[in-house]
């Protein structure tokens, strides 16, 4: 396979859960990604739809594959799942290891513009450009049939990837996404570090701001939010702000608030089937 090295392979629900590494041109470092190939991937000449999963703060390419139970659903729907890491690794940038909510494990899926970070912290371009090309070049993936979803910081990432690239993804969904980072502590810390002090620039990476001005082809947004989520209560997630922006711009959105559920993968595993069903409608 061109440009990638297999790290692990495990048979799972008739297909294979694999991890690969490669040298990223966008991030200027070695990166891992996981890919689940359903049984249909072994059929000659087949091209399958791809769902990208973006994980949250402190996570890597393994969290979803080990905790969510998505392989059974992907096997049933005949789709590939790709999970990138959440940031560059080992770049030796001063300060990237000092906190759990900035730097390593916390790339926020933006392309940094600040001098210190802009060479390596280009997760947006990595996820939307470099990785899909790598996937379509090495696996039986149909680049015209892509959807994206994520959790928390990765939910923010999924939303902005879809809203900033009209038509690239057939659908988008998120669990407990950071919906309005320009107005929450996590976003303010990350954006000031990666993007600088100009808050107008921040708006270009904020799902609520992007939804308010969205003019692309129809995009159905599907969000699940646990009502007992500590980060919802702390004002980090702000899903109602996203709903308000979508209403103003006429962007369809489903926001479900789930009583009793928190921010964990127990919440994700409970409702993941609904998200696969949502994406399958648009990936025919």
How many CB atoms are located within 10 Å of the residue 10 CB? Answer: 12
Nearest to 107 by CA among 21, 24, 2: 24
279's enclosing H/E stretch is helix 265-282
DSSP state of 261: -
Using CA atoms, how far apart are residues 142 and 119, in angstroms rounded to an integer? 30
Catalytic residues: 152, 229, 263
Using CA atoms, how far apart are residues 247 and 2, in angstroms rounded to an integer? 44
Using CA atoms, how far apart are residues 201 and 115, in angstroms rounded to an integer? 15
List Cα–Cα distances, 65 to 10, 84, 125, 155, 195, in angstroms. Answer: 11, 11, 23, 16, 31
């Amino acid at each position: 396979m061109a440009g990638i090295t297999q790290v692990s392979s495990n048979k799972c629900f008739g297909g294979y859960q694999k991890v690969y590494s490669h040298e990223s041109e966008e991030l200027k470092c070695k990166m891992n990604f996981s890919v689940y190939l359903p049984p249909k991937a072994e059929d000659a000449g087949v091209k399958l739809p791809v769902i990208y999963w973006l994980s949250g703060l402190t996570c890597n390419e393994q969290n979803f594959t080990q905790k969510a139970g998505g392989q059974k659903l992907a096997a049933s729907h005949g789709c590939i799942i790709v999970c990138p890491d959440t940031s560059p690794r080992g770049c030796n940038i001063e300060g990237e290891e000092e906190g759990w909510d900035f730097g390593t494990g916390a790339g926020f899926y933006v392309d940094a513009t600040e001098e210190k970070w802009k060479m390596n912290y280009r997760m947006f371009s990595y996820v939307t450009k470099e990785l899909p090309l790598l996937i379509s070049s090495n696996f039986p993936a149909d680049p015209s049939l892509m959807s994206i979803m994520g959790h928390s910081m990765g939910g923010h990432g999924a939303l902005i990837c879809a809203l900033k690239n009209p038509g690239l993804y057939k659908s988008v969904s998120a669990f407990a996404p950071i919906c309005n980072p320009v107005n929450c502590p996590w976003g303010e810390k990350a954006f000031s570090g990666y993007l600088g002090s100009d808050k107008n620039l921040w708006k270009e990476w904020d799902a609520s701001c992007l939804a308010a001005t969205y003019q692309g082809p129809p995009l159905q947004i599907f969000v699940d939010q646990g009502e007992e989520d500590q980060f919802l209560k702390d004002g980090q997630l702000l899903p109602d702000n996203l709903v308000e922006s979508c209403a103003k711009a006429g962007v369809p959105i489903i926001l479900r608030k789930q009583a009793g559920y928190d921010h964990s993968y127990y919440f994700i595993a409970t409702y993941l089937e609904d998200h696969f069903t949502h994406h399958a409608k648009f990936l025919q």
